[in-house]
Structure 1
Amino acid sequence: MGNNELQYYTDDAANSATDGSGHLLISARPAPTGSTLPCYTQKFCPWTSARPTTEGKVALTHGRAEIRAKMPTGTGLLPAIWMLGDNGAEWPAQGEIDICEVVGAEPRTVYGTAHGPTYFNENGIGGSTVLPRDASRAFHTYAVDKQPHRITWLVDGKPYFTLSPSKLPAARDWVFEQDMHLLLNVDVGGDWPGPPDASTPSPATMTVDYVRFYGEGRV
């Protein structure tokens, strides 16, 4: 993918399935031997994963997006819960809200970030908070409260960062007054987490207990 990641997204049950107890499992795992899955950074992707999305189905305009999940941790992993805008613009003008990212080698740190026309990739604007123990050890509730001209990031109901147009390079670059859909994925390798190694869990699984939208949007 575009951040020099090593996974190929599939719709295979090995990568995304329910567990029979009400949870969605999103798993990154080594690609089958001999597979020829195309990759952004090399000829073939050595890992597979999944990226479920609500695009074209459900979107949030104003209100709260709340996801209760266990996030996998380990060298080279980057699980993410995030949103993209439905305004039809090309990224980054599309607008992106990263509700939760956990860099595998920082298993207790949760990052929340916004990306827009003049603040994207390493220049994204956001904050972070620290969990009492590894994100893979327990369920936590990751959320954003998306209100007119204000976005607040929360973990387990506790806010840790708020963004408003005044914090942007220019207030006109605020692109979040629109419908935004949700995505969930477990990525492997890439610019931020670095490559996996022998200690990387396989499979590396995000366990999702629920996804909830409260407020106004599109169904």
Structure 2
Amino acid sequence: MKLPYLLPWLGAGLLAIFSCSKSSTHPLPSGQDQPSITISDVTLARQPRQNINFRFYLGLSASSTQEVTVNYHTEAGTAIAGKDFIPDSGVLHFAPGSTQAYVDITVIADSLRRPNQTFYLVLSDPNHATLAKNKATGTILNQDLPYLPTSDSGYTSPLSYPGYRLVWHDEFDEQQLADSNWNYEIGGNGWGNQELEYYTSRPQNVFLSDGKLIIEARQESYGNNAYTSARITTQGKHEFQYGRIDIRAKLPVAQGLWPALWMLGSNIKQVGWPQCGEIDIMELIGKNPREVVGSLHWKKADGNVATFNNKYDLSQGDFSQAFHVFSLLWSADSLQILVDDIPYVKAARQDLSDGIYPFDQPFFFIFNVAVGGNWPGPPDQTTVFPQRMFVDYVRVFQQN
């Protein structure tokens, strides 16, 4: 080939080679060649006696030959800086070749049971990297903590009555419920009333705090149930026949809640319900926050359930706002149910004569908070959980 023909060809080839080299070394869009920083959320249970660290892990999408830095600082949410967590800020360094680092934020010890809280770790001003996520959430779990005070206002009753002696009581002043006094009933089978809760013995649902027994109903999946609560009894441990019983309590009043302080005949395993008899010292249906019902149930001669009851209405306020004393005056031939020393159910033996009279034998206590059921109906959008029943004491007096 003659040179004049070769030069144009070489010129075109060199131009093509030059054009490819220029394209391959053109700078990529800003940040596209840098690793990105991510940060993970943290959720931990608060501790009642010691501070704990919430460790926020940061990661790089790829290692870098250069040191990567990023600024961080804490930001309050529902958690308060200086009270719930120790605020912090600084610069975090990723050494060359490293893809993971972390920041520890101290959460301050507390024992108060309350709603969970949040705070944030915020990232800014990355160097040799970009931010894929610039904020992580720290969630402080408080809902299982052991301390839950409540106002002690309301009606009270004495530790003695003329002609009576105190034969048994529980003031709930210990650290935990005494096994020598109480049983836990467990399960979620509806309890004969189409109830919706699963009863547990967990401290999430039943615990002592500040001299009170607290039964807490929660909206949570447990077993095959959507709610949890607790039901405790003195069956086989403390059973009583006649006397005066005082129970001081403050009640949950939301739709779908069914707190009860009641008694069953101790021979229930032998004769079954309702032949054993039932004394409802207090039942409240949440949609009626100012009203409690006292009832007597037994088995009629035809086998059906007999009921003798009445209701008591507060003149002002509702039963969640203060403590009230729910009482039973019980003798061989009569029963009275009272609220704050006002009797509103009065029954003589002759009023309960259809069938076998069961109220002349020992009975045991049951304290529980049901969720849903045939009587109260289910919770609705107005029902806020958790819901709690506080019991200050139970006292049994018998005549001298």
Please indicate, yes or no, whether the TM-score normalized by the shorter chain is above 0.5.
Answer: yes
Q: Does 1:178 align with 2:368?
A: no
* Residue-pair matches, total: 203
Which of residues 136, 145, 164 in structure 1 aligns to 2:320? 136
Q: 1:187, 1:149 → 2: CA distance?
A: 31
Does residue 198 of structure 1 match 2:381?
yes
1:41 is aligned to none
Q: Which amino acid aligns with 2:213?
A: L
Q: In structure 1, give the amino acid aligned to 2:293.
A: Y
Task: Work out the percentage of aligned pairs sharing the same amino acid.
Answer: 41
Distance 1:137 1:201 in 2: 16
1:14 aligns with 2:204: yes
Give per-residue Cα distances to partners, 1:131-165, cap 9 Å, x unaligned.
13210010000011111110100001111111122
Name structure 1 gaps, 5 residues minimum: 38-43
Give how far 1:169 is off: 5.5
Q: Are residues 1:57 and 2:237 paired?
A: yes
Confirm or deny that 1:30 pairs with 2:219. yes
The higher relative CO (CA closer than 8 Å, separation ≥ 6) is in: 1
Structure 1 distance, partners of 2:317, 2:310, is 18
> Partners of 1:149 and 1:49 in 2: how far apart?
36
Q: For the Cα contact (< 8 Å) 1:6–1:189, is it kept in 2?
A: yes
Residue 199 of structure 1 deviates from its aligned partner by: 1.5
Q: Structure 2 vs 1, CA of residues 148 and 133 (structure 1 numbering), >3 Å: closer, same or farther?
A: same
Verify: 1:116 aligned to 2:305, yes or no.
no
Does residue 159 in structure 1 map to residue 317 in structure 2? no
Aligned-partner SS, 1:75: coil
1:211 aligns with 2:391: no
Name the aligned partner's letter for residue 289 of structure 2: P
Give the structure 1 partner of residue 352 of structure 2.
168
Rounded to whole Å, the distance in 2 between the matches of 1:61 and 1:72 is 29
**What is the rounded CA distance, in whole Å, between the counterparts of 2:356 and 2:295 in structure 1?**
15
Deviation at 1:124, TM superposition (A): 1.8
Alpha carbons 1:60, 1:215 under 8 Å: kept: no
CA–CA distance in structure 2, aligned partners of residues 115 and 23 of structure 1: 29
- C-alpha distance in 1 between matches for 2:231 and 2:246: 17
Q: TM-score, normalised by structure 2?
A: 0.49
Q: Alpha carbon RMSD of aligned pairs, Å?
A: 1.4
Residue 258 of structure 2 aligns to a residue whose secondary structure is strand
